[in-house]
Structure 1
Amino acid sequence: MSISSPKWGLGRSLLVLSPCLLAGFLVALREHYCAINPRTNLPQISEARILGYAKYLSEDIGYRTVGTHEHALADTWMVQQAEEARRNCERVVNQDKGRKLQCEVWRQEGSGTHRFDMMGEAALQELSKCVLLLSLPLTGRVFILSDLTNIVVRISDGTDAGKEHALLLNSHLDSTLPSPGAADDAISVGIMLDCIRVLVDTPAWSPAHAVIFLFNNAEESLQDASHLFSTQHPIAHTVRAVINLEAAGTTGRELLFQATSEEMVEAYSHVPRPFGTIFANDVFNSGVMLSDTDFRQFEEYLDVPGLDIAIVGNSYLYHMRKNFLVITRANRCFTQNMGENTLALIKYLTAPGSPIPKLANFERKKPHLVFYSLLSHFLMYRFSTAKLIYGALFLSALRLTRSVWSGQPRGILAVVTGLLGSILSANAVALIMQHGLGKGMSWFAGGHFAAIGLYAPATLLGGLASQLLLRTTDEKTVFSSVVILQAAAAVVVQLLNVGSAAMFFIASIPLFSSLLLNNLVFATRAGEVSLWAYVWGQSVQLMFGTLFLIPTLEVFVPLTGRLGNVPADNIVATLVSILGAQAMPLAIPFAHRFGRNSLRQMVIVLSAIALASMAIYARKEVFDEMHQKRLFVLHLENVTTNERHLHIASADGAPGFHELVTDISAQFSSPSVAEADPVPLIMNEYNADWDSLYPFSAFLSPYKIELSKDAHYTSPWTKSFRLVATNDVVDLAAGTRSFTLQVDHPGLIWTVISFDAHVLKWNLDNNPPAEYARHHVKEASFYKIDTWRLDLVVNGTGGILFNFIGMQENAMWPGKKAVKAQGGPAMQVLENLDAWLDEKTGGTVDAMLIGCVAGTVVV
């Protein structure tokens, strides 16, 4: 019996299809996870050097939180590395007198202010209403930077003309509060340093346009140092484009997730191993990612285009304690690959004929360019071209399917019903797991493949079961409807100028070609669909679909562990169902191939598989040692009330958090409240206890536990952490008051003040809210900078109540373990709590443990 015959049974057809589908899936995985590094006889990027730099920063120096001693050590080390690079440059030039090469080094130090509204306050407020159900402020927060630093290296040909237009490379030296930051961002620092070495040591290389390497020293305190460079450095005005190197994960390929001009996309097309899509670009720009980088400061204050590139794999350990080099070595070749891509960009953009000079008159607008990497190739074309080729494919699909037009509405209904059934079925499983069985996020510890394992059977089940609700439809009609709908979606979405329409176009190509081959080659009788059409169309589309599905889940599955109390199960279920249906579009016509009896059999088998999958996942633990729960713990000493509390918060909606807080309370709280059931608090702009973690604090679910008082303890912070008014002048006639608020905070970092007032004028910016409002001002400063000031003119002549809070520089566990005796009572409690958590949870919790000092004062 011929394979072209539709008389083959379900079992034999699946037996033929299975290895082909598996091959498509495996090809996609190999493409996603494998990197190839070319070799030449010229100086090469050295993985060993890059990892050596990252090891020194993350392990030898350690937690480089802005304002700490370790932060200052990293600054000193970076200056040494920059000066060494300059001396090597001079040595090379002295050896080759004809070499046009000059290396300059600056250590920038400065202060300033800037407003930071994550995603924009309006967008954040809207998101809180629609998704997070939180009450978030509309007022912006203003940040003060005090004597922060940048280390800058410029390489040029030494001429004024060569320095007139420059490319900026950026990475950051500091690490975030609970993390040593091997990937974020020590790897990028190492890559930039090694690029300097390779460029200088490459014979005859000389840049036609300068390249500026910015090692900024305060990104995690909300992009303070990149703002400092953009607004105050003397060579900032020469920057024409930026390449920002970041991390939102710990291993794997680096993803191009922002590209803001056609010229920069064209430049990226020349890297040896591209990995980026317009789909990722559209997702990030939509605000769904709830993330931001230094790229924002360069775009806003330098008004330049660029590329934002980040390591995104294994995001479970992003901003966590285990972000050490031992973890990043899991995929060693990707470090070198990122370095080679970066080097290729530098060489292209600094060469004669580079588009860099043309970008001096850059107009900020969304680039109308479709781009995506596919099977190691980088494709790009303009929106106008996309509309033409998508439209041509759609018209060709209509022409190809004209023989089945009479039944097309029923075929389209079958496909649409299948998609809706897939989404509903996957979300039904999510609701049952979360609310029925109390096993929400049971897929988290298993990673993105575990999410596929739970929701893929339900997705397929819903798609096929929905067909039982419809009248029997001709297989070829449904097959044709899939082709038409994919091509139509590409056209419609592209007409809306959304470049992600390419996802539908890419899917249309193997589907259209399989139907064309079916009609011309495969089919032996009119109206039949050969099994070869499924072999070709579905296996190729499964490969393409997997290349969209895997990186999307790689980002979003770990992200659900830090989005707050959101319906994580439904978010992931919806992603798996939509992208899974896109990867398996021919499952619906295949279901109509064998009649309703066979369809019922498939539904019964899939139901059993889905139930078995749910039973297996119901027994799984949500977190393990490599996929940990994030816990945020503040030991807060209130110098006004002389009370001490543990503030505990979670950033996920997984079950068991309340029970964990209850156990912590029973173990650590004062005897008077040890038996009481902890009550969750509301997180809003008046919960000043979490102000030091803004804006991430908006997504936390907090509790507050009272600690016992020590009658013999005398707080050292009562007199040292103080707010006083100087130059205080009251204008009774105008009904206003002007004064300078001086904040002294020796031994404390990341201090924040919050207050209610109608501010008429301040020294932060020119547009304080024109009304009585809640204000938050946050400070970030270099090590041992202990005072900052705020000039205010307010409507009213009375005193103002200020909330104030700061983090103890020597009370961060385990970052300050070496000097724990200097952390006082806070460090003792945090050390004991960490040991208790490790034993209680078996290492499945990663806790950010920080000692804070807070209080209130009327000024």
Structure 2
Amino acid sequence: MSSKGATTTARWGPFKSLLVLAPLLIGAPTFTVYQHYALPNPITELINPQTNLPQLSEAQILSYSKLLSEDIGYRTVGTIEHALADEWLTKKAHEIKNECEEIVNRSKENGKERKLECEVWRQQGSGSHRFDMMGKRLYKTYVDLTNIIIRVSNGTPEGKEHAVLVNAHLDSTLPSPGAADDALSVAVMLECIRVLTNTPTWEPVHSIIFLFNHAEESLQDASQLFSTQHPIRDSVRAFINLEAAGTVGPELLFQATSEQMIEAYSRVPRPFGTVVANEVFSSGVLLSDTDFRQFELYLNVTGLDMAVVGNSYMYHTRKDLVENIQPGVAQHMADNVHALLLYLSSSESPLPALDFGYTRPSTVFFSHLGYFFKYSYSTARILYSIFLVASLVLVAFTWQNPAPALKSSGRRGGWIKENLKATGAAGVTFIGALIGVNLVAAVMQYALGRNMSWYAVELSALALYGPAALAGAFSTQLLVARLPERTMFSGLLLSLAFSTVFLQFIGIGSAAIFFLSAAPIFVSILLDSLSTGGKGPMSLWAYALGQISPLLTGTQVICTVFDVFVPLTGRTGREAPAEHIIASLVSITGSYTLPLVLPFSHRYGPSVLKRFVVILSAITLVMVAVFAAREPFDELHQKRLFVLSSENVTTGERHLHIGAADGAPGLEALVEGITAEFGAVGSSAVQEKMDDWNGDWDILYPFSAFMSPYKVELPPVKDYASPYVVGGSMPFVIEAINDVIDEGKQTRSLTLRVRHPGVIWTVIAFDAHVLWWTLDDSPPDEYARHHIKEGSFYGVDTWTIDLVIRIPSPGIVASTLDSDKVPSTKERAQLKVNFMGVQETAMWPGKSHRTPDTSSSGGHSQTSSDLYVAELQKKREDAALPYGPAMQLFEKLDGWLEERTGGKVDGMLVGSVGGIVVI
């Protein structure tokens, strides 16, 4: 039977063999994609009709999210909407406290007092912190920012001694209403409080601190405020941070910093996270950050960072709306968070043990098709080492001498030499695949100018670059000596086994994914050798058995990688090699997912292999032609256009600054159209040099480095008198007070005061050698550029910093003066300050005065009366000022963009005020 099976297999040609394997090659990825994106059914009722107990309701969660993101609106730090969200949640917190007290009183009446207490704080404070990012030193200062905190405990001092903190942020960023980011997480927390406090049998052994922080998008100010100033901060032993960078799919665990918290996560009903994501995020490859940083830095505690990441095309855009949040997303997040809180507040909780600090995890963990696996690094090293030894033994005893007549190919040492050749062939295959896709990427970008054509569909890049990867891989095998199919199988096994052990021994837990691929190949070689005696070609069922795990695991890796990286290319800068990054990711993930392509390429000989290369090359050409005709963007996958209408209060000039954060073609034509339509007569767009001294984009610094922006002169506005100039109704003024020059020490001491009525997100930048200031204890010990950004509560219009600077030498200052004379000490002590900020009333569409549609909640249950929503809207309108020239321009520009691009562009339209002053 074995001999007959081998003969039958040998008679089948490559295409028939592929046809036989097709159900696996198609079915396994299809099944995996379904499982990968599976979400629970949304629950609408607040009470379970069978148990009469409270249950987590997605409808309730989305109604909260809608109220925050659409009824209140764009909650940018410093705006009236920001203040309204603070007011709403403060009222909501006190309602929860009152309800909690009623629950306890009712329990007393029933004869069994429930151990439950809800405490509320509205923290308001000021501070500053250093916030390094993208290799830049940056400082933040804030005034009167707020946090709303609810602590749920059993009411005893012992129950409050150890707490888990769960955090989400109320604010949204400049161009977005933030339904998912992060109103969804806020709503999940509120719903968890409702269910926990209304569950009669729940009494927390350890307390839960719900932190609704109110300034994450302004670079994590409010979480820093809590972590450094709130009186209960020292009781926090661990934290859970909830975020969103997308609107679909399950919530991903992408940071876990202790074994205890990984153990806690293993208790959730729908785990979705891997050590791979943990290590990739920790490596800094992704230029993203959350409040997680502040809790680690200032509280020195362990935590979990979880976020919705699917469909992040809408992240930080005006389409971050409830209608675009996929059904089941909120339910998935809520179910997992609720399970974590139940465990961490229980008697089984590890919180007391974390009172003495924590150590970084040495744990391999991953979710696989809905199951969660975890084991220690020490277990992994032992397991993988045993597996490597077993693989060596298997290969040694199953290897058949391909040329027994040749002494050099004898069993003694022959198997080692031949398998080393196979291992080398595997490495060459990988390199060939990389070369193949990057050659096509170069054609798409440089020859055809059609880069990012795959952008609108995450996995479409597989269609463009998959055939090229296979063609490149197969081409390399034409250049190496032909090796037996079985030797290629065993060489591949040894390559994966060695990689697994090596990576694990250098502390990389992601080695697990190589083990998951190698293990079934080991089994397939063993079973095939037992059934065929190790002679003839490998059985097709050996291919099926060896390929199934890589297909399942690799498909999950592909989905996660492309969900994150494809939309990310739309905001990584025009200079980023997006085409080559995505092409390389296709090659890398494809090589992992289809490892048995390598032995298959040696199954039929060079002539068949050449045909494969020709066919795949032809398919590649067809794919290039198809993708070259595609547009990168559509209405749901938009190009991000950043537009600032700037008003220089020191020169009176007005400009339009236009930039994009992607390298897709078409920006120049768009800029030309905007210039012709809205620019001054005879003006032309000038490309700006983007560096630390370009103050035009300082409100986005250092993210501004991603753009290569254009500057367009705007026509004068008839009868417009700027309120922001000195002498205007709202002057934007930078001045020095408490100013003292010490000529002996060659220092200047001063308080720099920034007054900015009607302007938010102010930034100042200057060059100086700072010896001391009130920002931190370690300013750069050199003459350097300093950027200081502010984020404060609505209505706050003044902030200050105290500093002492070294007066620069005459040579440094003389180079900046148009004079041959030696500058005096007073002249050398002067500070040239770039300043700018955002007009609080000039952000489109956030300040468009459009009344939200409050007649329907989109099918979700209401969380406030129509009267309250109307009250919110009235407060918005009462606080709004008449349209200025910036908003008049934006209304026209937004309509023009919609008509010109068919809705394929999302514009961040912001009015800025700034200038340069010497003090």
Q: If the length of structure 1 is used for normalisation, what is the TM-score?
A: 0.95
8 Å contact from structure 1 (residues 102, 155) kept in 2: yes
Q: Which residue number corresponds to residue 865 of structure 2?
A: none
Is the aligned partner of 1:689 residue 2:696?
yes
1:657 corresponds to which of 636, 650, 667: 667
1:111 maps to amino acid = S
Is the aligned partner of 1:408 residue 2:419?
yes
- The Cα of 1:524 is off from its aligned counterpart by 6.5
Is the aligned partner of 1:858 residue 2:858?
no
8 Å contact from structure 2 (residues 39, 249) kept in 1: no
CA distance in 1, matches of 2:189, 2:263: 21
Is the aligned partner of 1:532 residue 2:541?
yes
Q: Which runs of 5+ in 2 are unaligned?
A: 400-414, 808-825, 850-876
Q: Which residue number corresponds to residue 576 of structure 1?
A: 586
CA distance in 1, matches of 2:471, 2:506: 33
Matches within 5 A, 1:398-477: 398-402=392-396, 403-404=398-399, 405=415, 406-445=417-456, 447-477=457-487
CA distance in 1, matches of 2:80, 2:344: 37
Matches within 5 A, 1:629-668: 629-668=639-678
Is the aligned partner of 1:45 residue 2:86?
no
- The Cα of 1:628 is off from its aligned counterpart by 0.6
Deviation per residue, 1:150-203 (Å, 9 max, x gap): 000000000001101100000000001100001100110010000000100111
- The Cα of 1:520 is off from its aligned counterpart by 2.2
- The Cα of 1:821 is off from its aligned counterpart by 6.1
Q: CA RMSD in A?
A: 1.5
Q: Which residue number corresponds to residue 861 of structure 2?
A: none
Q: Which residue number corresponds to residue 170 of structure 1?
A: 167
8 Å contact from structure 2 (residues 642, 658) kept in 1: yes
Q: Which residue number corresponds to residue 732 of structure 1?
A: 743
Is the aligned partner of 1:717 residue 2:711?
no
Q: Which residue number corresponds to residue 114 of structure 1?
A: 129
CA distance in 2, matches of 1:398, 1:528: 21
1:117 maps to amino acid = D
Deviation per residue, 1:419-449 (Å, 9 max, x gap): 111111011111110111110111001x221
2:901 maps to amino acid = T
1:26 corresponds to which of 11, 27, 30: 30
8 Å contact from structure 1 (residues 6, 531) kept in 2: no
Greater shift after overlay, 294-303 or 770-779? 770-779
Deviation per residue, 1:583-613 (Å, 9 max, x gap): 0000111111112222122222211111111
- The Cα of 1:6 is off from its aligned counterpart by 2.4
Q: Which residue number corresponds to residue 375 of structure 1?
A: 369
CA distance in 2, matches of 1:51, 1:92: 25
Matches within 5 A, 1:591-606: 591-606=601-616
CA distance in 1, matches of 2:518, 2:99: 54
Deviation per residue, 1:104-139 (Å, 9 max, x gap): 000000000011112xxxxx34xxxxxxxxxxxx5x
Q: Which residue number corresponds to residue 702 of structure 1?
A: 709
8 Å contact from structure 1 (residues 62, 180) kept in 2: yes
Deviation per residue, 1:653-687 (Å, 9 max, x gap): 111212221221122111131xx4x3322211101
2:382 corresponds to which of 388, 394, 400: 388
Q: Which residue number corresponds to residue 278 of structure 2?
A: 281
CA distance in 1, matches of 2:907, 2:39: 34
Deviation per residue, 1:341-373 (Å, 9 max, x gap): 00000011110031101111114x531111100
CA distance in 2, matches of 1:525, 1:209: 61
Deviation per residue, 1:405-430 (Å, 9 max, x gap): 15212222221111111111011111
Greater shift after overlay, 705-714 or 277-286? 705-714
1:272 corresponds to which of 269, 272, 280: 269
- The Cα of 1:525 is off from its aligned counterpart by 6.0
- The Cα of 1:2 is off from its aligned counterpart by 4.1
2:563 corresponds to which of 547, 554, 559: 554
- The Cα of 1:725 is off from its aligned counterpart by 1.8
SS of the residue aligned with 1:846?
strand
Larger Rg: 2
CA distance in 2, matches of 1:5, 1:813: 66
Q: Which runs of 5+ in 1 are unaligned?
A: 119-123, 126-137
8 Å contact from structure 1 (residues 490, 501) kept in 2: yes
- The Cα of 1:495 is off from its aligned counterpart by 1.1
Q: Which residue number corresponds to residue 128 of structure 1?
A: none
Is the aligned partner of 1:16 residue 2:23?
no
1:856 maps to amino acid = I
CA distance in 1, matches of 2:88, 2:131: 29
Deviation per residue, 1:543-582 (Å, 9 max, x gap): 1110111111100111011000201010011111011110
Q: Which residue number corresponds to residue 909 of structure 2?
A: 849
CA distance in 1, matches of 2:752, 2:617: 67
Q: Which residue number corresponds to residue 346 of structure 1?
A: 341
8 Å contact from structure 2 (residues 164, 351) kept in 1: yes
Q: Which residue number corresponds to residue 311 of structure 2?
A: 314
SS of the residue aligned with 2:709?
strand
Greater shift after overlay, 785-794 or 186-195? 785-794
CA distance in 1, matches of 2:473, 2:547: 16
8 Å contact from structure 1 (residues 24, 540) kept in 2: no
Is the aligned partner of 1:325 residue 2:322?
yes
Q: Which residue number corresponds to residue 858 of structure 2?
A: none
Q: If the length of structure 2 is used for normalisation, what is the TM-score?
A: 0.89
Deviation per residue, 1:78-118 (Å, 9 max, x gap): 11111111112111111112210000000000000011112
Q: Which residue number corresponds to residue 129 of structure 1?
A: none
8 Å contact from structure 2 (residues 5, 539) kept in 1: no
8 Å contact from structure 1 (residues 811, 822) kept in 2: no
8 Å contact from structure 2 (residues 547, 594) kept in 1: yes
- The Cα of 1:710 is off from its aligned counterpart by 3.2
Is the aligned partner of 1:762 residue 2:773?
yes
- The Cα of 1:762 is off from its aligned counterpart by 1.3
SS of the residue aligned with 1:469?
coil
Deviation per residue, 1:46-98 (Å, 9 max, x gap): 10110110111111111110000100111011111111111121111111122
- The Cα of 1:540 is off from its aligned counterpart by 3.0
Matches within 5 A, 1:506-545: 506-521=516-531, 523=532, 526-545=535-554
2:286 maps to amino acid = M
1:810 corresponds to which of 825, 838, 841: 841
Deviation per residue, 1:217-246 (Å, 9 max, x gap): 000000000000000011011100000000
CA distance in 2, matches of 1:10, 1:649: 51
CA distance in 2, matches of 1:336, 1:262: 26
Is the aligned partner of 1:99 residue 2:114?
yes
